[in-house]
Structure 1
Amino acid sequence: MIILEIRQLKTFMSIVKLGSFSQTAQLLGYTQSTVTTHIQLLEKEFNTVFFERFGHQLMLTTDGERLYEYAEQITKLSEAAKNELDHFDIPKGSLILGIPESVCMYYLTDVLKEYVSLYPDVELKLRLGIGSDFRNLLRKNVMDVAFFLEKKVKDRDFISEFLWAEPIVMVAAPNHPLTKLKRVKVQDLTGQILVFTDSISHYQTVLEEYLEKSSITPRTILEIGQIYTIKQFVKSQLGITILPLAAVKTEIEAGELVALSWQGIDLDTNTYIVHHKDKWLSLPIRAFIKLVRERLVE
C-alpha cells in the first residue's frame, strides 16, 4: 500500500521547477537533508528513481515525469478540498513570499508579526531578494506573492498593485568630501568608491547604466550582501551608496549619514505587490494582501 504525503510531493515538484535540491531547501525553509529524505521516501514508496544527474544537470527519469503529472493534480485537489472543507473561514496551509530586504526590514516586520499572530495555522516562508529573482519563481508557481521595487511592473503575465512611492537617496559619511557640495552631479562620482548590494536592484541598475552612458568610471564598486553592513561601510568612509530612504532615515536623522544633493538621473522607484495572473489566490494569500493594504497603504 502506497502512502503519499502532500509535503513530499510539493518538495518533489519544487525540485523539478527549480532544478536544484539546495534551492528547493532554501525556498521551502527545509535543510537540504530534509529535502533529500522527502525524495528518498517517495522513491522507496514507488520502488523507483525519480532523478538522475548528467554532470551538474539534474534530470527527471521517465517515472519522475509520470509522477509529476499526478503530483500536480493531487496537490491541486488537496488545496481545493482543504478550502472547501474549511468553508473559507480560517486561513490554513502555506504562504511563500518574496521580499526585498529593505521592504522586509523597514515596512513589513510588524505586518508579518501580526499575520503570524492572526493566522497561526499558515506556514509562512520568506525569501529575500529582488524582482528579477522572484519573476522566475512566480512563473514556476513555487512562490505565491512577491514585492517588487521598480519604477513600473510591465510584465503582462503578472498582476501588480502599486503600494507606495519609494524615494532613493545617495548617502555618505558626514565628513565625506561630497557632503561639502551643494549639488552632486554625475561627474562628481568619478573615482569614488560605490557600495552596492550584491543583488542588482532596479535603482542600482539605473545608476550604473547612467554612469556608463556618461563615461564616468568609479574607483571601484564594492558589493555587500546586507544593508546593515553597507551602512557600516559608508559610516566608516569606505564609500557612498544609494538605498531606499526608509533604510537610512534613522541614520540621517541621527547625523550618522548625510543625504547628498544628487542632481543626476532620477533614482526613485515604487513598491508593488505582485502575483502571477493565473495564480489561484488561496485564503492565506488573500488574507495577507488584505492586511498589507490595511496597514501600509494610505
Structure 2
Amino acid sequence: MDLKYFITLKTILQEGSFQKAASKLSYTQSTVTSQIKSLEAELGVKLFEKIGRNMVLTQAGKDVLPQIDVVVESVNKIKNYGKSNKELGGKLKIAIAESLLSYKMQDVLKEFKLMAPKVELTFTSVNCYILQNAIIYGDIDIGVYYDIGKHNSVTTDKLGAFSLALVCSPDLNMDKRDFITPNQNKDLTLIGLEKQSINREIFEKYMKDKNINLNNIIELYSIETIKKSVAGNLGVAYLPRFTVKDELKKGALVELETSIPNKKITAQCVYHKNKWLSPAMKLFIKLVKSTLNKSE
C-alpha cells in the first residue's frame, strides 16, 4: 500500500476537493482520482461519494480515517525527529475562539513565530462547535476554545477560567436594568455572537429559567462590533469580562447584576487523540499553557 495514496487522501480533505488537492500536490486531477481508486481497491471500501457537486467521505472513509491519520502522523514524526525549534518546518493549522484570538493569543502567536520561524502557521477564528468538528475530522491541528463538553476523539488540556459580564450602555434606562427579578418582558435587545456561542447559551438558559424575555436579538460576528453597539445603547451583551474591562474602567459600559450561578467559562487547548504531537505542536501548546493557565 503506497504511502502517497494516504497523503493524497489527507490533502483532498484539507483542501476540500480533488482539483485543489491535485494543484497542491502538483499532480493532474486524473492522477489524484487514480490514486484514490487504487486506495479504495486495496482497502476494499469506497472512500468518497458524490453528493451534489461535492465529493464527500463515505461512512467507511470516516471509519478508516483515524488509522490513516496514525500512519501519516508517524511519517511526520520520523521526518521531524531530533529537529530543534529553529529547524522546524512544515505547516501548523490553528483555530481559535474569536474573543481569545483578539484579546489573549497575540503574544502567543508572536512568540511562536520568533521561536519557530520556518513553520508555516495559519490560524482562523470560528465557532467553538465548528472548531471541535474541524479537529475531529483532521481539518486543523490544534484548537483553542471554550469548554463545550468532552468528545471521545479529542485530547483536552484545560486552561484558565474566565469570568463573564452582562454589560449595557450608561445611557440605558434604570427601569430596564433589572435582570434579577423573574417573570419580566423587556423592551430590550440582546446583542451577541451566533446562537452556538457558549456565553450566549449560558445567558439564554438563565433568562429562560428566570422567565425574563427580551423582544429582540441581534447576531454580530465581532466582539468589537458588539461592544460598540452596546455602548451606543442598542442593547445588552453577555461577554467575557476581559473583552470589556477597559470599557468598564472608562465608564463606556456598565455591568449589570445577575444571579447566574457560575459566571465563568473555561478555555482549553484541544487536538485529536490520534494525532502525533510534532515539535511544532508541542511548542505551541507550551506557549498557550504559559499564557492562558491563569484564571480571571
| TM-score, length basis structure 2 | 0.78
Structure 1 unaligned runs (5+)? 22-31
Which segment is superposed worse, 234-243 or 158-167? Answer: 158-167
Match of 1:127 among 101, 124, 127: 124
**8 Å CA contact retained: 2:74, 2:276:** no
SS of 2:259's partner is: coil
CA distance in 2, matches of 1:241, 1:144: 32
Which segment is superposed worse, 39-48 or 187-196? Answer: 39-48
Structure 2 unaligned runs (5+)? 37-47
SS of 1:219's partner is: strand
Measured after TM superposition, the shift of residue 185 of structure 1 is 1.6
Structure-2 residue corresponding to 1:246: 242
CA RMSD of aligned residues (A): 3.5
CA distance in 2, matches of 1:203, 1:60: 33
Question: Are residues 1:92 and 2:128 paired?
Answer: no
CA distance in 2, matches of 1:37, 1:70: 25
Match of 2:289 among 268, 272, 293: 293
Which segment is superposed worse, 283-292 or 4-13? Answer: 4-13
Question: Are residues 1:177 and 2:163 paired?
Answer: no
Structure-2 residue corresponding to 1:43: 29
Match of 1:145 among 128, 142, 146: 142
Measured after TM superposition, the shift of residue 130 of structure 1 is 3.2
Letter in 1 for 2:186: T
Q: 1:139 to 1:5 in 2, by over 3 A?
A: closer
Q: 1:110 to 1:194 in 2, by over 3 A?
A: same
Match of 1:196 among 180, 192, 198: 192
Q: Alpha-carbon deviations, 1:37-96, whole Å to 9, x = none?
A: 3388342445759677442542469xx99xx99986874454133213xx1323322211
SS of 1:175's partner is: coil
**8 Å CA contact retained: 1:139, 1:276:** yes
Structure-2 residue corresponding to 1:257: 253
Structure-2 residue corresponding to 1:218: 214
Letter in 1 for 2:78: A
Letter in 2 for 1:271: A
Structure-1 residue corresponding to 2:41: none
CA distance in 2, matches of 1:40, 1:92: 20
Letter in 2 for 1:98: A
CA distance in 1, matches of 2:154, 2:71: 25
CA distance in 1, matches of 2:273, 2:32: 35
Letter in 2 for 1:122: V
Measured after TM superposition, the shift of residue 9 of structure 1 is 5.6
**8 Å CA contact retained: 1:179, 1:258:** no
Letter in 2 for 1:89: S
Residue correspondences, number: 274
Question: Are residues 1:266 and 2:252 paired?
Answer: no
Measured after TM superposition, the shift of residue 137 of structure 1 is 1.4
**8 Å CA contact retained: 1:196, 1:230:** yes
1:159-170 mapped onto 2 (5 Å cutoff) = 159-170=155-166
Question: Are residues 1:12 and 2:12 paired?
Answer: yes
Match of 1:116 among 105, 113, 118: 113
Q: 1:212 to 1:143 in 2, by over 3 A?
A: same
Match of 1:282 among 278, 281, 287: 278
Which segment is superposed worse, 218-227 or 90-99? Answer: 90-99
Structure-1 residue corresponding to 2:100: 103
Which segment is superposed worse, 103-112 or 155-164? Answer: 155-164
Q: What is the identity percentage for the equivalent residue pairs of Structure 1 and Structure 2? A: 26
